[in-house]
Amino acid sequence: MTKLQASLKVVQTKRGELNRQAVRCDANKRLLRPLKTADSGRLIPSLRVKTYQELLQEHLNEKLKHLEAQATQINRLSAELEAAIQELKAISAQVNTDLKSLRGNADICEYKVTSVPYVGQKLDGSLVLTARSIDLYKAEREAASLAQKLRRRTRKKRS
């Protein structure tokens, strides 16, 4: 037998006994299909060999998971960077207060429009690396709005 070879396969039965069963293999000793054994008359199940397409799909799925994890990490780091920038602004405001009491008028930091990277997703599932702008004065606007609401409430209570 040149192209197809018969070989014996050791199979453990349900009772734990070891039996030798005949199977058909190709030249590379890959199982083709089961042969009937002389003693049992049953078929031996063949081994499932993955096709190139299946292997490629598995590889693609792994890479897609890795890509998604990387996009998530970029967005997490982006949020951390934004928080660090807001903290820088808060610290500089405290330093400015101290400098004003010593020198008069001083600004230790200048702020320009800035942004952080962000990975978004389109409707078709593709990813887009873009920038998300940071609102450096959002906290001040929210504080001013809250103060204004509180002033209105106290005026209504007095009336």
> Long-range CB contacts (< 8 A, 24+ apart) of 110-117?
111/136, 114/85, 116/78, 116/81, 116/82, 116/85, 117/74, 117/78
Q: What is the pLDDT of residue 6?
A: 42
**Nearest CA-CA partner of 32 in 57, 1, 53:** 1
The string of pLDDT tens digits covering residues 92-131 is 999 998 888 888 777 889 989 999 999 999 999 999 999 9
* Strand, helix or coil for residue 111: coil
Beta bridge partners of 132: 116
pLDDT for residue 83 is more than 80: yes
Q: What is the mean pLDDT of residues 124-139?
A: 92
Q: What is the pLDDT of residue 26?
A: 56
| Long-range Cβ pairs for the range 130-136 (8 Å, 24+) | 132/78, 134/82, 134/85, 134/86, 136/85, 136/86, 136/89, 136/111
Residue 42 has pLDDT above 80, yes or no: no
Which segment, 49-58, 71-80, 108-117, 131-140, is predicted with the most confidence on average?
Answer: 71-80
The residue among 40, 41, 46 whose CA lies nearest residue 24 is: 46
Give the whole-angstrom CA distance, residue 24 versus residue 9: 10
State the pTM of this model. 0.59
Q: In whole angstroms, what is the distance from residue 84 CA to residue 136 CA? A: 11
Supply the DSSP symbol for 105: S
Query: Taking Cα atoms as reference points, which of 114, 115, 117 lies closest to residue 74?
Result: 117
